[in-house]
Amino acid sequence: MNEKTVGVIGAGSFGTAIANLLGENQRVLLYERKTDVAEQIRQTRKVRGYDLHERVEISTSFEQVAKDCFLIFPAIPSHHFKEMIVDFSQHLRPDHIMIHATKGLHCEFDIDQAQSKHLRLKDIKTMSELILQETGIVRVGCLAGPNLAGEILDKQPAATVIASRFDEVIRLGIEALKSDRFQVYGNRDILGIELAGVLKNYVAIASGALSGLGYGENARALLITRGMGEMIYIGKSLGADKRAFLGMAGIGDLIATCTSPKSRNFTVGYRIAKGESLSDILASIGEVAEGVRTLKIGKLIVEHTGANAPLLLTIHKVIFEGLNIETAVRMLMRHYTTADADYLDL
């Protein structure tokens, strides 16, 4: 891998973090769509105040990335993913390997107009399914785990999971990313790993709201534990194995995003609890909080499948329907099961 070039699509915080990790082992092409932003990065060698690794080069050409790179890591928000992959597809070959790092879902419909009774689950796609649908690429994978971009860019120890149905994808992904400060694990349940990375987002919003209300760690521990159970119920309703939610991409990522003010989803919940409007919060964050979108899609899934997800439905009412947060907490405290870890029986 030291003699090859790896591509990263998206020069946001997480894309830059991945590029810097990859740069420790090989040359990297980091794609930035906007030419003015790309030029600024070339001149300053910085993205959002963080230094680029010396082996990372900026590109504005999909053609160049596809030509120079055998292994490619897309890391862009889910609502831009299809547009990106369609534009990129004309340059991609079946022998490319693509490992995405997007923790979101794509819908083939307007999620603001959709009704659960008319929902077709096949119209909700993971990013790996979207890659397979829109390109000739066969070997796909995903990257998920407790990966707060700022901490990775600060070179703090961390770990992730690469999931794929292909052992070669897992092996090459591990070789490209692993270092003394970054552990990389493999998993063959790509659906479960993708859903774990997606569903933890709305639990993190709820965790931020608890902090905004001034509640302590007992309440957060309750939220994280029952939130993980709820993620398993939803994942199971979509065909995922529960074991994916019990590892680094599940409970690991859930803990990181539910306990860190650096998490955008945590920040949304915290500021909602402090009385700010969702539109003002999203406008000021500057980057996408995937949990807001996850709530909309998750509500449709839960209502359609009947999965046991009172937290998701309640936090959806808080974010989009004006339910008072303290009232929401009281509602959730009345909703409990007498069986601990009941989700392990699935």
Q: Tell me which residues are annotated as active site.
A: 200
Q: CA distances (Å), 228 to each of 32, 55, 95, 253, 292, in order?
A: 35, 38, 37, 11, 18
Q: Is 183 exposed, middle or buried (0-12, 13-18, 19+ CB in 10 A)?
A: middle
CA angle 46–127–224, rounded 5-degree value: 80
Question: What is the DSSP code string of 179-205?
Answer: BTTEEEEEES-HHHHHHHHHHHHHHHH
Contact predicate 20/149, CB 8 Å: no
- The tokens 């003010």 sit on which residue? 261
Chain centroid to Cα 317, Å, comes to: 22
- φ, ψ dihedrals at 83, nearest 5°: -60, -45
Q: Which amino acid is at 155?
A: K
Provide CB contacts within 8 A for 5, sequence distance 6+: 26, 27, 28, 29, 68, 69
Q: Is 229 exposed, middle or buried (0-12, 13-18, 19+ CB in 10 A)?
A: buried
